[in-house]
Structure 1
Amino acid sequence: MKRRLCTKVEELSMRKVLLERDDAVAAAAKAGESARSGGGRWVLFSGVTGMGRTALLSEVTAREAAGGAMDVLHASCSPEEAGFPFALVRRLFPEAEEVPFADLPADKEQVVFHRLVTRLAQAAYRRPVLLTVDDLHDADMASRRWIGYLARRLTGIPVLLVLTECGEKGVTVLPGETGTSVRLRPLGPEATARLVSAGGHDADRAELCAQACGGSPALVHALLADLCAGPLPRGLSELGGSRYRDAIAHWIRVRATPGSRRIALALAAAGGGTAVLGEALLQEAAGLFPGHRATPVSTSALGRLFSHRLAREAALAAADPAELGELRGRIARLLDERGAPAADVAAQLLRLDRPGEEWMTRSLEDAAEEAVRGGRVHEAIALLRHALTAPLTPDRRAGLALRLGALELPHSADAGIRRLHAALELPLDHHERAAVAPALGAALVARGRTVTAMRVMRRAGSTVDDGELVRVLQTTAALMASHDAVAWRDAVARMRELAATAPAAIEPLACGLVTEYEVGAGRLSAAETLDRVLPRLAAPVDPRLRSGWLGSAATLLQWADRLAEARAFADEALPAPPVLPDLTDIGRQCLISVRAEAALWTGDFRRVVAENAPLLDACAGQGIRLPHLASMVALARYELGHRAHAHRLLAAIDEESADSSWEWNELRYARAFVHAAEGNRQAALDDYLACGRGQSARDFVSPVATPWRSGAALALVGLGQPARALELAEEELRHARTWGTPRVVGRALRAHAAAVGGRRALESLTEAAALLRTAEAPVELIETLLDLGHARIDTGNGRKGRDDLYEAHALALRLLATDATGDPDTPDGPAAAAATGRLVRATDNALRASGARGPRQVTKSCAVLTRAERRIAELAAQGQTNAQIGAALQLARRTVETHLTHAYRKLGVTRRTQLASRLTGTGEAASAPGG
């Protein structure tokens, strides 16, 4: 049935082949009328292959000879007989004995020409003659000369001479006074559509034929035949037949001139045709230089055809692989020399067996970096893998392998680590080896293999005889050691020794690591810590340790509640999404954690998700666990009200494979927090105590990172064990006061209040609220205000208690009111998000339980702004730009933006023009339940 349908389509299509050929038919009819009246004429139909020259010649023959009006002499030329003198003439006059078989001298050739014209004229006087020649470009030279001889003598002879010729293969010059030339143009879209619809096809197939056939009737017929059996193809392999592919292949291999073939292949190889290369560059890429081609090649018709994928695939399939490879290399080089985008150059290089020259490797590398910046990591990986097939020096190969391993690691930990292992085994000098070993070590740490990472670092250091390089490796290894409790103690001991004698460029990181340990051990206050860190921020640091020092300094600044500065360091070293951070840099691993936790502490829950979820998604199931980052994102989602998602994140990490890394303690703390929020006090207590055991094994007693004692105390109170709760709460408060930041002390005071109860609780909560109002700690402040409100209500002060609850509710709403991921200069995102977060639910419930009735207007004021936020907000309200504010306060622009973002969120505004009214307390009020 399908075969019969195809046959019908072909028949219908053939009857319509002369669409847009009216001018040609009319020219032939006029010439035929003249010839039959005794005035001979010639008509030459010229066009590229596939334009229907032969079909047109047949139609003209049928029309002009209809009813016996003219006798017909016809011959078709073939390239196989182009070398035989007079071959065409013998086919036209097979009985003429005077036609020779060899070239003749000019005078004798003229005699033969004259006799043949005389013979033709005598026949035409009896009845007009239609003499047709198809494919004149393939005729032998002697016959072509005779055709010209005849054309000059047609006057007075009743002969119509109709010729066809492929314009790509030569141009026959005939006398204009006796005839005319007609160039056959490609079919337009409308004509193609009519041709397709004649076979019963729909508009989609008509559009496909218009795009994939370049106006060639022959290709339209071929493609229609291939389309009969199935749906529209997405590629050549999906065609129902091979006629279309064979037609293009035959043209490429047989019919096309060398120049046209080269242009066609260049168009197909370039992908976008002239849009990518431009016509002049295309000619050069095809090797068609001025003076090196016999006839000019026009790219317009070919460009139209090979702009479609089907035609390109067919041409490339028909090409000689060696010719195609040479052509791709030439295109790539020309694009590179003319400054084309690296991606366009790389598109050609990827199709070569291997890049053979350095510029090719460089182009692939550049294109990979562009792909990374665009978030197309898998594309970048393919480009770098191809670059590594080139003949490279060991150091160049190691550099590419490092970059490739970093890109592969999140998506396949084992593949990335194997890549880095292979790089380390190359014949490298000590400095090159010292660059590869830390990358492999960091990858192993991310994989959870810290012990192996330390072994790699020790082996790398043992082969180095450069003292400074050895200390760089030791310091980097110490940063990795923080993921193993035993190795961490040993590393800190070495760093104490090293800090006393280390070069100035190494000492900051050594000091930072020692300080991290001593903070965790409860030996330093925040002020003492800042006294160590801040002076060293301006000190020169070895470039190989730069990210490690930023990670250590940012960690300490975060603990000290210098959150804007901590985030600024992280933002300096980490890319913005969708680009993933480099996990083969141990310092950047630290900064990833700082960036996430600092945003969580300030209540920027959406920022936590936006910046870190892409990395977690990429690593899911690929061997990189990132328990701390997963904990931060889970807590942020939980605060936003996405409880199911948070549970999935926390459950996805298998703790059975946990080691002594600090990251697992963060995970235990996050799980405990969620259990507590859902009222599962025993599960919360178990996880809090597990977190505490893990921290104690690392000598980390400070509540600065994971306040597990506070959480456990609150759980114990709920379980009816106040004495045990008080013991933990008092120990927590003692360590908190040693550290001394409002966040840590306020948080500990809240737990202490829960344990002591009564009037003492009210005093602790009042102190906690006062402290937390001076810090950028909205979550802790809201939780404290909830407890303070309940405590006041319980002691008979219902009005003040409800005021505390109203304030807590307003703060909870503001945490969700503005998308903190927006630019502080243009915070035109949603004015409010759905109020489904944990804290909004908690404050709603508290207000209802307190007996509050009806809405109450709670003014958004600047009471909860920190001093820095208030100062920056005031300057912004005066109309100063971020750059001007930074210059006035001697702050980095990023720090200004961070503070301003927080102020926008706290004040519930979305643009600068609203700041002045909010700061003076005259702005619009937020609706909150009241009584």
Structure 2
Amino acid sequence: MSERDTLMCEDTQAPPKFTGRRDELRQLDRARHDSMTNGLRRLVVTGEAGIGRTALLREFAAAAHGSGCLALELRCREQHRCEPWALTDWVVRTLIDRLPEGDARGPALREAHEVFLVHRAARPAGDDTASKGPRIALFAAVREAVARLTGTAPLVLTVDDADQGDPTSLVFLRHLVKACSQLPVVLVAATRRGEPPYAPAELAELLRDARRLTLEGLSEQETAPLLRALLPVSPNPATVATAHRLTVGNPFMLLQLARWIRHTGTDATHPADLEAAVLPAVAELVTGRLDRIAPGTGELAKAVAVAVAGGDAGADPLLVAHLGGLALGDTLTASDLLVRMRFAADDNTLRLRHPIVRNALIGGMTLMARNAAHLAAATYLHERHAPVERIAGHLIASPVPLAGSWPTAVLLRAARSAKDAGDDATAARCLEHAVQVASGDELREAVPALADIRVRADRVRGLDAAVATLATTADPVTRDRLLGRIGCALYGSESTEDEDRVLESVGAAVVGTDVAGWPALHRLLSQLFDCPPVLTVHALDELVGRPLPDQPRGTEGLRATVTAVGALCLHLTGDDPEEAVRRARWALDRDIDELSPHPLALVHALSVLAENGHHDEAATRLRRHEGPPHAWGHPLHRALLLSVEARIALAGGALETARQQLDDCLAGLVRHGPGLGKPVRVIAAGLLAHVLISQGDNSRARTVLRRHRCMGDLPPGWCYRDALLARARLRAADGDLPGSAADLAELRDRNETAGVRTTSSAAWRMYGVGLLHQTGVVEEARRLAWQQLRFADSTGSPRERGRALRVLGSALGGSKGEGLLRESARLLETQPGEMDLAYALGDLGRLLTRRNRPDEAVVTLTEAVRLAGRCGAQPLVDGGRQQLAAADERAPQSLALRGVLALTARERQILIDAMRGLTNERIATLLRITRRTVELHLSSAYRKLGISGRRDFPEVFRNPGLWALLTDGAPIVRQGASSAA
């Protein structure tokens, strides 16, 4: 049995058992049955090379023989052409042998054959005809023999490679089937699809009116048992699917793929390994068939393979013509042969149908020829302004880089595109080639970008590769960017041992350079949020010798990074915000690469500007650092910068924008590192909680704080200050004023321990003093309000001064407070954004209500509600509406609102003290009244509010604005109440 005869076997140990082709076999069998009543049936089986025509014919012949048929299997191969009558002789002898012994038809057939050969031999050379009489006698004898042999079952005549038959043989077969046309005869001829026949006229006569069966590749379900029989290990479904895709179910190619797996020892359970298979037998099948038909067409197929190996779905005929050295017309003509033979798809581009053919053809080329073809293709496509992905596909297919400026630019653009599409493998290959030929700014872009991708693919190996590159890099900019990438990777590390190992390697790589102190800087900043900022400032000063140079002098190692982080520490601890801003500006004025060595440097410098009210400047500088050539910025950089963008959006009253940016920021930080306790994540979570509370989504704010471990007992560190303040706001909204007071006290203690100024937090400057006032810590609230005003004046920011005047005016009340609130509103009207102005007008409206000026209060509160609504600050809207209802006697009032307005001054005072957590006995002592009096006043207040006791206090707080109404006009609680709370 030939090699191709075994392609359809299920079991290579036992006798071959056919697989698949059930539909074709049914059609052949139906023709066999029909021939018994209707005479001759002709069928043609065709298909691409290796599709299994021979195996199908043999299976049909074997099945027919098993059913009692006389099955003659003929092979019209090239060797028959040197003996044109060999086929005739073989058929006649076979028929004679099959006739029963003693049957007179046998000797008659032998005699007629001998006479025919004698007359044939007497004909002149080149005359393929025989005398009419002997030929008629021969085929009459053949007909008689066939009639004798087909009494109960038909004659099955299979002709393999009929298109390769010589004219004499085909003429003989035509006469044979014509003579037996009324007898039960089935002729099944196999032809090679798309290949021109050796004797086209004779073949056409033989197969006139024949039914055509075109074989396609095996289905995936049929591929599985074939591979199980051919492989030592049963393949999994993914491997079967990959093998089927690579071969399009071609049995010959599947057999060769299985042999490659066995020979190379490849694990058949890993489908990705099959993509690398190079099968010489497949290449020989394709090029051999093509070159036999049209010399040079095999080389054209290789040109197509090279073209599509560049990453194209199909090859441009112009490119193929260029690579093959042919005219376009000749290329299209030769390509037509590929299409007709089913090696290529029939569309406007040349696309090889079998991916494994591409590998086979390219693998059969020498390395140098392959490289030359790919580089020629890349150059050709570049000259014609093809998409960069196509050009880069050829550039990276050659291990030998193409020198020049344009290959680097193409590779970088293709790498960016692949990265944006999530294809890191292609991006890495583009960058690896770019690094070999790039220089200057292009090299500075490629090296850190490649480090990013390698670290993302394999953190340990990627870091080692980055450090190795660092050791050989002389360019300061490339070195700074590489250090930044290493710093980003280490910042997400959960392994101290791994971090120490890398830092030691980095130290050895940068020794003697102006960034030799980078490992020490990284270790210092890793503890930034756990250490008092004043100590960090001292350590930073020691690291660079002086905190800020008097005159900028270009690149100065780590000085810009140190200055940026030092500016934040100074903002947190110092009494001179102007100095912190000056340092931040100095760092931001440097080239961005000087801020690259640590991921926190840029974000800290920008945060100092934003936290000191310079939001427009921060936004402008942020835009400068987001564009090219820094489009390859690390994802951690982008996540951190989103937190700055959110601060700017929040200052402008764009709550929804700030929420989305903080959501994206936290998502990026979570993707960067597995630990949930990272300080920058805690800070972002606290800020997001404030935004959600301001939008009225308290439930989600709690979820955010809980997810980032900001509920319950907290670890040490000043990074929790915004989270603690948000937690205090949530508890106050739930009516838990004692719990809110406890969170504020913890916040104060943490700030004092770390030496951090309370007013250095923008969230505190918006909500802190009011929350202290609400929990009864009035004197401290006033003191911090004055401190906030001094801070605002030192920043020079109109927004911060307007915000501070609003806070102080609300705390003081009375005519002085009204003046401060009006000045606050005037200042904030000149600033972008409307939320701070809405707060100021709301506080002014409440104060006007308290001072019994309802008409002015209604106008002011109406504008406050309008502005708050535009910002999406729903609690501020609801509170303002409650205030409007209280100020306007004509407005409809809810039961709760009427109850609050019905309280006496004494009932208000006692109720507020109770809500702040004071016991009845403590209230009686402070007010110098009896405990029974306190109880009577509280009972009356409960009845007016529709509640039963202290446990229902949260119900009051769930109605936005009632707390403010409750406290309007109430006596100020003495500072001593705070300690009791």
Shorter-chain TM-score range: 0.5 to 0.7
Instruction: Give the AA of the match of 1:603.
Output: G
Match of residue 652, structure 2, among 560, 584, 602: 602
Instruction: Give the AA of the match of 2:90.
Output: R
Matched residue, 1:767: 823
Match of residue 636, structure 1, among 683, 687, 691: 691
Matched residue, 2:919: none
Matched residue, 2:902: none
Matched residue, 1:708: 764
- Indicate conservation of the 8 Å contact 1:355/1:390, yes or no: no
Matched residue, 2:801: 745
Q: 3-state DSSP class of the match of 1:297?
A: helix
Unaligned stretches of 5+ residues in structure 1: 34-41, 62-71, 187-215, 817-835, 857-931
- Indicate conservation of the 8 Å contact 1:596/1:629, yes or no: no
- Indicate conservation of the 8 Å contact 1:689/1:712, yes or no: no
- Indicate conservation of the 8 Å contact 1:306/1:312, yes or no: no
Compared with structure 1, are the counterparts of its residues 110 and 145 closer, same or farther at alpha carbon in structure 2 (3 Å cutoff)?
A: same
Match of residue 487, structure 2, among 441, 447, 455: 441
Matched residue, 2:626: 574
Instruction: Give the AA of the match of 1:747.
Output: R
Matched residue, 1:840: 877
Q: Give the distance between the partners of 2:416 and 2:170, measured in 1 at CA.
A: 62
Matched residue, 1:727: 783
| Structure 1 residue 770 displacement after superposition | 2.5
| Structure 1 residue 706 displacement after superposition | 3.3
Q: Give the distance between the partners of 1:265 and 1:185, measured in 2 at CA.
A: 37
Instruction: Give the AA of the match of 2:192.
Output: C
Compared with structure 1, are the counterparts of its residues 49 and 97 closer, same or farther at alpha carbon in structure 2 (3 Å cutoff)?
A: farther
Matched residue, 2:166: 144
- Indicate conservation of the 8 Å contact 1:785/1:804, yes or no: yes
- Indicate conservation of the 8 Å contact 1:446/1:583, yes or no: no
Compared with structure 1, are the counterparts of its residues 852 and 217 closer, same or farther at alpha carbon in structure 2 (3 Å cutoff)?
A: farther
Q: Give the distance between the partners of 2:334 and 2:121, measured in 1 at CA.
A: 27
Q: 3-state DSSP class of the match of 1:436?
A: helix
Matched residue, 2:899: none
Matched residue, 1:123: 138
Coordinate RMSD, CA, aligned? 6.7
- Indicate conservation of the 8 Å contact 1:137/1:170, yes or no: no
Q: 1:95-494 counterparts in 2 under 5 A?
A: 110=126, 120-124=135-139, 134-136=159-161, 139=164, 144=166, 146-147=168-169, 165-174=191-200, 179=205, 217-219=214-216, 236-237=240-241, 244=249, 246=251, 249=254, 253=282, 258=288, 270=308, 275-279=313-317, 281=319, 297-299=337-339, 301-304=342-345, 315=356, 322-323=363-364, 336-337=378-379, 338-339=381-382, 341-343=387-389, 366-372=413-419, 374=420, 376-377=421-422, 379-380=423-424, 383-384=427-428, 402-406=448-452, 420-421=466-467, 423-424=469-470, 433-445=479-491, 462-464=511-513, 485=533, 486-491=535-540, 494=544
Matched residue, 2:937: none
Q: Give the distance between the partners of 1:774 and 1:464, measured in 2 at CA.
A: 50
- Indicate conservation of the 8 Å contact 2:636/2:668, yes or no: no
1:572-621 per-position Cα deviation (integer Å, ceiling 9, x unaligned): 32369xx9952566xx7764432221012112233234445334224326
| Structure 1 residue 643 displacement after superposition | 3.4
Bigger drift between 470-479 and 482-491 goes to: 470-479
Q: Give the distance between the partners of 2:315 and 2:248, measured in 1 at CA.
A: 30
| Structure 1 residue 471 displacement after superposition | 10
Compared with structure 1, are the counterparts of its residues 775 and 437 closer, same or farther at alpha carbon in structure 2 (3 Å cutoff)?
A: same
- Give the paired residue count: 751
Q: Give the distance between the partners of 1:699 and 1:457, measured in 2 at CA.
A: 33
Bigger drift between 759-768 and 682-691 goes to: 682-691
| Structure 1 residue 737 displacement after superposition | 2.8
Compared with structure 1, are the counterparts of its residues 730 and 370 closer, same or farther at alpha carbon in structure 2 (3 Å cutoff)?
A: same
Unaligned stretches of 5+ residues in structure 2: 1-9, 11-16, 62-69, 94-109, 147-155, 182-186, 227-236, 257-280, 291-297, 894-981
- Indicate conservation of the 8 Å contact 1:668/1:688, yes or no: yes
1:62-106 per-position Cα deviation (integer Å, ceiling 9, x unaligned): xxxxxxxxxx99652165966974554543444667999xxx999
Compared with structure 1, are the counterparts of its residues 288 and 14 closer, same or farther at alpha carbon in structure 2 (3 Å cutoff)?
A: farther
Matched residue, 1:593: 643
- Structure 1 or 2, whichever has the larger Rg, is 2
Instruction: Give the AA of the match of 2:867.
Output: L
Matched residue, 1:910: none
| Structure 1 residue 501 displacement after superposition | 4.7
Compared with structure 1, are the counterparts of its residues 658 and 415 closer, same or farther at alpha carbon in structure 2 (3 Å cutoff)?
A: farther
- Indicate conservation of the 8 Å contact 1:226/1:243, yes or no: no
Q: Give the distance between the partners of 1:787 and 1:138, measured in 2 at CA.
A: 98
Q: 3-state DSSP class of the match of 1:544?
A: helix
Bigger drift between 676-685 and 766-775 goes to: 676-685
Instruction: Give the AA of the match of 2:594.
Output: L
Instruction: Give the AA of the match of 2:832.
Output: E
Matched residue, 2:594: 545
Q: 3-state DSSP class of the match of 1:500?
A: coil
Q: Give the distance between the partners of 1:328 and 1:664, measured in 2 at CA.
A: 60
Compared with structure 1, are the counterparts of its residues 79 and 12 closer, same or farther at alpha carbon in structure 2 (3 Å cutoff)?
A: closer
Compared with structure 1, are the counterparts of its residues 518 and 328 closer, same or farther at alpha carbon in structure 2 (3 Å cutoff)?
A: same
Q: Give the distance between the partners of 2:462 and 2:890, measured in 1 at CA.
A: 60
Instruction: Give the AA of the match of 1:403.
Output: A
Q: Give the distance between the partners of 1:279 and 1:154, measured in 2 at CA.
A: 46
Q: Give the distance between the partners of 1:622 and 1:442, measured in 2 at CA.
A: 9
- Indicate conservation of the 8 Å contact 1:364/1:384, yes or no: no
Q: 3-state DSSP class of the match of 1:752?
A: helix
Instruction: Give the AA of the match of 2:159.
Output: D
Compared with structure 1, are the counterparts of its residues 803 and 580 closer, same or farther at alpha carbon in structure 2 (3 Å cutoff)?
A: farther
Compared with structure 1, are the counterparts of its residues 355 and 342 closer, same or farther at alpha carbon in structure 2 (3 Å cutoff)?
A: farther
Q: 3-state DSSP class of the match of 1:219?
A: coil
Q: 1:906-921 counterparts in 2 under 5 A?
A: none
Match of residue 703, structure 2, among 645, 648, 656: 648
| Structure 1 residue 799 displacement after superposition | 1.9
TM-score by length of 2: 0.58
Compared with structure 1, are the counterparts of its residues 177 and 523 closer, same or farther at alpha carbon in structure 2 (3 Å cutoff)?
A: closer
Q: Give the distance between the partners of 1:615 and 1:839, measured in 2 at CA.
A: 26
Compared with structure 1, are the counterparts of its residues 688 and 220 closer, same or farther at alpha carbon in structure 2 (3 Å cutoff)?
A: same
- Indicate conservation of the 8 Å contact 1:813/1:840, yes or no: yes
Instruction: Give the AA of the match of 1:631.
Output: G
- Indicate conservation of the 8 Å contact 1:268/1:316, yes or no: no
Compared with structure 1, are the counterparts of its residues 422 and 679 closer, same or farther at alpha carbon in structure 2 (3 Å cutoff)?
A: farther
Q: Give the distance between the partners of 1:542 and 1:420, measured in 2 at CA.
A: 22
Matched residue, 1:805: 861
Bigger drift between 393-402 and 686-695 goes to: 393-402
Compared with structure 1, are the counterparts of its residues 80 and 428 closer, same or farther at alpha carbon in structure 2 (3 Å cutoff)?
A: farther
Matched residue, 2:848: 792
Matched residue, 1:76: 74
Matched residue, 2:610: 558
Q: Give the distance between the partners of 1:11 and 1:535, measured in 2 at CA.
A: 80
| Structure 1 residue 438 displacement after superposition | 3.6
Q: Give the distance between the partners of 2:413 and 2:370, measured in 1 at CA.
A: 18
Compared with structure 1, are the counterparts of its residues 109 and 380 closer, same or farther at alpha carbon in structure 2 (3 Å cutoff)?
A: same
Q: Give the distance between the partners of 1:271 and 1:393, measured in 2 at CA.
A: 22
Q: 3-state DSSP class of the match of 2:877?
A: helix
Instruction: Give the AA of the match of 2:707.
Output: A
Q: Give the distance between the partners of 1:535 and 1:457, measured in 2 at CA.
A: 27
Compared with structure 1, are the counterparts of its residues 559 and 126 closer, same or farther at alpha carbon in structure 2 (3 Å cutoff)?
A: same
Compared with structure 1, are the counterparts of its residues 589 and 462 closer, same or farther at alpha carbon in structure 2 (3 Å cutoff)?
A: farther
Instruction: Give the AA of the match of 2:75.
Output: C
Q: Give the distance between the partners of 1:267 and 1:853, measured in 2 at CA.
A: 85
